[in-house]
Amino acid sequence: MPWLVLGLLHLLWAMAGTSTQTRSSCSVPSEQWPWVDGLQALMEKSVTTSAFPNPSILIAMNLASAIDPEAQKLLTYKLLASDTADLTIGPLSLTIMALTSSCRDSGSKVSVLQKRMENWAPSSPNDEALAFYGPGLAILALCQKNPETTLPIAVRLAKALLANSSPFNVDTGAVVTLALTCMYNKIPVGSQENYRALFGQVLKVVVENISMNIKDNGIIGNLYSTGLAMQALSVTPEQPTKKWDCEKTMDTILKEIKQGKFQNPMSIAQILPSLNGKTYLDIPQVTCGPDHEVQPTRFNYPTPVPTSATNITVTYTINNQLRGVELLFNVTIEVSVRGGSVLLVVLEEAQRKNPMFKFETIMTSWGPVVSSINNIAEDVNHKTYWQFLSNKTPLDEGVAYYIPFNHEHITANFTKY
């Protein structure tokens, strides 16, 4: 009676999925909600017919309840129509989760992802931690669709993580925690292999590393990894040795929000679920009734300070010392731009003054990335990129959002990850 066994197995999967939810959480105090609504409105405003559809925004919108139903529909249709052939593993996984959060079918996209992940293998134990970000999203998306067939792939990812020796990255650790927590919660009862021990062991190590990155003010990693890290710490079955103070993290995040630090729609998309007490594990449970009335918010989130009439001076250095790249250089220029300008304006001014500073950008979900300077281009195969620093400290925002101060020294350094 194979159908009976199969039915029983399904029942067990279903039961396993609901039995082990534990979570620590904290919430936004009621008087602070206008800030969060203002933030969400700013994010939704970035959804336009011309903009490239960003699945992370749809996920955030659905987990929080969309303010603008038109933006929600537009994004859903654009993502439904997107061609899987154009998407790498990470964006494809987010697209599947986004469609699930809009209660749409993503069946054919799921099978494409499943096939791609069956062929996935870590290239070496020295792989940079970042190499697990996309595969982590894939396990998370597949786990929500079909945990049974995802099990062997998740086991491969878990073992690769245990064997990996490269420096820890909080954003990646958070994604991996969400993925393996999803799997952990859906291990079939009575399965022969000790999946629970394996996933538990990896979760323990990763969560311990996340907690070692909690700053005194509650920020986890940096400001822009905190949203994902909060999700991870609030669902993990393996608690860190050092207890996480969720309230403190929430307080600091709200302070930073009021300072206008979340202008980038993608940065909002990654913090919004945590502000709403939600995580990516809640995606399959989103209910999609008829549009419920959400009051359009009249609260305006502060936009960046307008550029001032007076100019500031910024010193800008481009530096390539990487061996094996034909053209080595280290040149510096001083440029004058209006105070309050973003770094991109500095780069444009430098390029105008001296053709050696010419640069190119490519568009991504986070905005434009500087892909090439003075004809030296980033290359995924060589793991090279242009890193931006203020003095010796790497910037935590991209050129289209970072606002330099007077007499700041910005360096673009060609380096490896």
Ligand X SMILES: *[C@@H]1O[C@H](CO)[C@@H](O)[C@H](O)[C@H]1NC(C)=O
Residues found near ligand X in the complex (CB under 6 A): 129, 164, 168, 205-206, 208-209, 311, 319, 321-322, 330, 332, 336-338, 341, 345, 349, 389, 392, 413, 415-416
Calculate Rg over the CA atoms of the chain.
23
In the sheet that holds 329-338, the strands lie side by side as 329-338, 311-320, 409-416, 384-390, 393-394
Tell me the number of residues near ligand B12 by CB under 6 A: 36
Pick from 239, 311, 365, 372 the residue near ligand B12 by CB under 6 A. Answer: 365
Question: Rounded to an integer, what distance in angstroms lies between the CA atom of residue 49 and that of residue 71?
Answer: 9
Instruction: Give the alpha-carbon dihedral of 102, 103, 109, 113, to 10 degrees.
Output: 90
CB atoms within 10 A of CB 26: 17
Residue 220 near residue 168 (C-beta atoms within 8 A): no
Stretch that binds ligand B12, among 207-215, 299-307, 316-324, 367-375 (CB under 6 A): 367-375
CB atoms within 10 A of CB 213: 17
Q: Is 417 annotated as a binding residue?
A: yes
What token pair was written down for 203? 């979760």
**Nearest by Cα to 138 from 83, 176, 187, 165:** 176
Q: Does 136 bind ligand B12 (CB under 6 A)?
A: no
What token pair was written down for 244? 């996480």
Pick from 367, 403, 410, 414 the residue near ligand B12 by CB under 6 A. Answer: 367
User: Minimum distance between the CB of residue 359 and ligand X, rounded to whole angstroms?
Assistant: 17
What token pair was written down for 288? 């999609």
Stretch that binds ligand B12, among 119-127, 242-250, 302-310, 382-390 (CB under 6 A): 382-390
Contacts 24+ apart (CB under 8 A), 349-358: 350/316, 356/318, 356/329, 356/331, 357/316, 357/318, 357/331, 357/333
Which C-beta is closer to ligand X: that of 114 or that of 317?
A: 317
Which C-beta is closer to ligand X: that of 240 or that of 284?
A: 240
CA–CA–CA angle 266, 269, 272 (5° rounding):
145
User: Minimum distance between the CB of residue 197 and ligand X, rounded to whole angstroms?
Assistant: 17
Out of ligand X, ligand B12, none, which partner does residue 365 contact, by CB within 5 to 8 A per kind?
A: ligand B12
Question: Rounded to an integer, what distance in angstroms lies between the CA atom of residue 274 and that of residue 280?
Answer: 10
Helices 147-163 and 107-118 cross at an angle (nearest 10°) of 40
**Nearest by Cα to 184 from 212, 206, 209:** 206
Residue whose CB is nearest to ligand B12 in the complex, by number:
398
Q: Is 171 annotated as a binding residue?
A: yes
Q: Does 398 bind ligand B12 (CB under 6 A)?
A: yes
Q: Does 263 bind ligand B12 (CB under 6 A)?
A: no
Out of ligand B12, ligand X, none, which partner does residue 133 contact, by CB within 5 to 8 A per kind?
A: ligand B12
Which C-beta is closer to ligand X: that of 259 or that of 308?
A: 308
Residue 102 near residue 60 (C-beta atoms within 8 A): no
Out of ligand X, ligand B12, none, which partner does residue 134 contact, by CB within 5 to 8 A per kind?
A: ligand B12
Pick from 26, 364, 377, 409 the residue near ligand B12 by CB under 6 A. Answer: 364
Which C-beta is closer to ligand B12: that of 187 or that of 347?
A: 347
What token pair was written down for 210? 């996340």
Stretch that binds ligand B12, among 126-134, 147-155, 201-209, 324-332 (CB under 6 A): 126-134
Which C-beta is closer to ligand X: that of 257 or that of 410?
A: 410
Q: Is 42 annotated as a binding residue?
A: no
CA–CA–CA angle 93, 77, 39 (5° rounding):
75
Q: Is 133 annotated as a binding residue?
A: no
What token pair was written down for 72? 């929600």
User: Minimum distance between the CB of residue 199 and ligand X, rounded to whole angstroms?
Assistant: 14
Out of ligand B12, ligand X, none, which partner does residue 205 contact, by CB within 5 to 8 A per kind?
A: ligand X
Q: Is 301 annotated as a binding residue?
A: no
Question: Rounded to an integer, what distance in angstroms lies between the CA atom of residue 263 and that of residue 362?
Answer: 19
| Residue set of the binding site for cyanocob(III)alamin | 171, 222, 270, 395, 417
User: Which residues are at the interface with ligand B12 (CB under 6 A)?
Assistant: 90-91, 94, 130, 133-134, 171-172, 221-222, 224-225, 228, 264, 267, 270, 364-370, 380, 385-388, 394-399, 401, 417
